[in-house]
Amino acid sequence: MANISVYLEKILSAVYGREVRGSIHDAIKAGNDEIEGYAAAEASREAAEQKRQADTTAAIQRCDTAITDANTAAQASSAATAACEDATEAALAVAGGDIAENTVSFTEALTRANISTGEKLKITLGKISKWFADLGAAAFLGVSNTLTQTEEGYVLDARQGRMLSGKIGNLSSLTTATQDSAVSAINEINNNLTSVIKFRSKLYQANINTGSQTTITVDYNTGDVCAFLISVHGASNAAAVSGHLMGGTSAKPTSLSLSNSSSGGVNQWCYAMVGYLYK
């Protein structure tokens, strides 16, 4: 908006006629420009309002058209549904009506066979009954392809058979006489273990005077095959103690001789470790 006070001030302060005319001209022109700008803005506003009203009217018309089309489609759908129900009722009437509550007598088939199109319902049910009768418990279990399954209700996948076979190995590679059964091979090895020679030992001891010796009876257990001297030593002078097995046979001597050759007249504990082989 033009500031009219500025132009009025110029008119009042003008001295010469030319200045007065110029000031009046400027004031009138500023007012006119202001009026013309307002008129243009008002015209633009009116045009925008007219466009908004036209757009609103068009949108309402489109919405009405869409509603009309939706109602038409709904009516068509209802008509199609009714026609379908009528056709279903007509088909049931031809087939003898709804059989949902009807009972059917049938005999289980003698052998398993696939159902066929066009056969009677009692024949189809008889075939199905045979299939169910022949199904084992495994048919209703899950299949597990792992050897770590602990939950019940699963059978082992066939691929795990190859895995187990690989863990067991090739029976023909066994060095036992039996090579067709892992259990028989294990039993054979267990029986052979009863004849394997085993080892045990026993410590003999005696308190022997200086320069003396003593004889100790060698003990045997059932199954002992032979006995042999492992070592001898003394409590105070190990080097002075000696011993040997004697009597009986070379394999099973009956006595152990221990000698104390130390000096000084002091008794000494002497020890001998005897080994045994037994079955």
The radius of gyration of the chain's CA atoms, rounded to the nearest angstrom, is 61
Q: What is the pLDDT of residues 142-197, one digit of tens each?
A: 889 888 888 888 888 888 887 877 777 777 777 777 777 778 878 877 777 766 78
The Cα 175–Cα 57 span in angstroms is: 101
What length is written for the chain? 279
What pLDDT is recorded for position 17? 66
Phi, psi angle pair for 191, to nearest 5°: -65, -35
Asked if residues 11 and 20 have their Cβ atoms less than 8 Å apart, the reply is yes
DSSP bridge partners of 170: none
User: Both tokens of residue 134?
Assistant: 């022949």
Q: What is the pLDDT of residues 120-148, one digit of tens each?
A: 888 999 999 988 888 877 788 888 988 88
**Which of these, 207, 205, 177, lies nearest to 191 by C-alpha position?**
177
Q: What is the pTM of this model?
A: 0.34
Tell me the pLDDT band of 20, cut-offs 50, 70 and 90.
Answer: low
The residue type at 56 = T
What pLDDT is recorded for position 136? 78
pLDDT at 35 over 80: no
Q: What is the pLDDT of residues 71-126, one digit of tens each?
A: 887 787 787 788 777 766 765 665 555 667 778 888 999 999 999 999 988 899 99
**Which of these, 162, 163, 137, lies nearest to 152 by C-alpha position?**
137
**Could you say which of 3.40.630, 3.30.470, 2.60.40, 2.30.29 is the CATH number of the domain covering 198-278?**
2.60.40
Domain boundaries, the chain: 1-95, 140-192, 198-278
**Which of these, 81, 79, 84, 133, lies nearest to 106 by C-alpha position?**
133
